[in-house]
Structure 1
Amino acid sequence: MILRYGDVGDDVALLQKRLTRAGYPIPETHVFDHATESAVMTLQRDRGLVIDGIAGPKTMIALPGVALPCHLTDADLVKAADALGVSVASIRAVNEVESRGQGFLPDGRPAILFERHVFYKRLKARGLDADALAAKYPNIVSATPGGYMGKAAEYTRLAIAERIDRDAAHESASWGAFQIMGYHWKTLAYSSIDDFVSCMQRSEGDHLDAFVRFIAADTALLSALKGRKWAAFAKGYNGPDYARNLYDAKLAQAHAKYAEREKAAA
């Protein structure tokens, strides 16, 4: 569940009650108002989380105590902005819109999505009979996308793929909060696919670092991000269907919000 400014209802009231019990007292209004947003941001700052005022899974987990060390921090966002030469507001906007919000599953493994059509291509490139394997494992090897099971079940698909070709399997999954494809490992200056996967298993800060490397390696994407050309950035990052999900509009709106906060805090 994700709660943010403007939401109303019993879930908001429960959040307000939990915030008060955690030492961030606010009225129980059933409305996610400015006071609630401010309390959430203070909690996030105290727990070392990204300060966005949105009560997502990591913020909810942080309410009873200290956030897990693998979570993305505000310092990670500042470091990423410096590395790319863009405003922190731009990185905050991308993190809000383009990330999955939760880079790890509840069992501690990084979130993945296995792409059977990528695996098909990787196997062909290695000289294996991808078509024969597709006939035997249609959910794992195919010339077309699909077969997704989601969340932890993606690791079941990955395990089957690993028995066919371990490196190709890891290259054929997208990893972490920003869902960077494994086959980019060499372009992104990792020493091997194993090195890339090890980093993805370590922390959401490493997920963001992979995203930074990905953007830095693509001059068009980096230029779009620096110029805040959100349609061009969304198209380059998400593909031609970006407009269907309003990624560019969401990025522009999120950037305006964070830029206004930075201006107010200056």
Structure 2
Amino acid sequence: MKQVKIAVLTLFVCSAAVFSVFTIRDFLETKDQRPVIEAEQDTISVPIDATEEQLCAGLHAMDAEDGDLTDGIIVTNISNFVGDSTCNISYAVFDTQEQLGTYTRKVTYTNYQSPKFTVSEPLEVRMGGEVQILDKLSAEDVFDGDISNRILILSSTVNSSVAGLYDVTVQVSNSHGDVSELKLPVSVRDTSIAAPTIALTESLVYLSRGAAFDPMTYIDENESSVFPSYISAESTVNTAQPGNYVVTYSAQNKEGNVGHAYLTVVVEE
């Protein structure tokens, strides 16, 4: 009888030990579990000025010990563009044990536009003079603001020793890796020849696809040495077809000297 009691007691102790081992293991495993972030959708669409709340919309975070951690989700990184106006956006959340949960999905910016150039004055060079292009150019980005200091000259055909029309190709990029390139006309003028002066209100314009365009509306009558009626405009601009175009303005004086001006038109998608 005594042996039976000992056997029962031994079995009880072993069972308790096994139970304790598994209980402790389960407890430790629970403590080791990281919080989990889940999303209602894998891609979100937001404006470029989206708040942290908008960027975190549709996310939920749960932890085995701490429960709902949704309010603790933060944005940790927004990548370069991986598609049209689309980036990978990464999130993180910590539990009370400082364990980290992460999640990544895509964000598409609904009103994004690529960086744009501005020309402050006509790209003209006096024959024999120094070629200065960058000081007449600036660039603006919807995320980064003024990025003029990132403008690069990729190529140039300008020869300041010979009067004529040349071109220069410039490039600028923003912090999301989007790159804009543009070919611009550069005029080398022989200032010893008295030719009519044609002034324009703009040297570079961006137009939406399908927009109306009249090249004569860009003539600055007050600053030109001839009336607009004496100025002709040669234009191939087709606003139905996105691309870069150059409008050539010309006017001739009674001595037969011809003056020119040039307008770059970018038709966007």
TM-score in terms of structure 1 length: 0.22
**Bigger share in strand:** 2
**Bigger share in helix:** 1
TM-score in terms of structure 2 length: 0.22
Higher relative contact order (CA 8 A, sep 6+): 1
Structure number with larger C-alpha Rg: 2
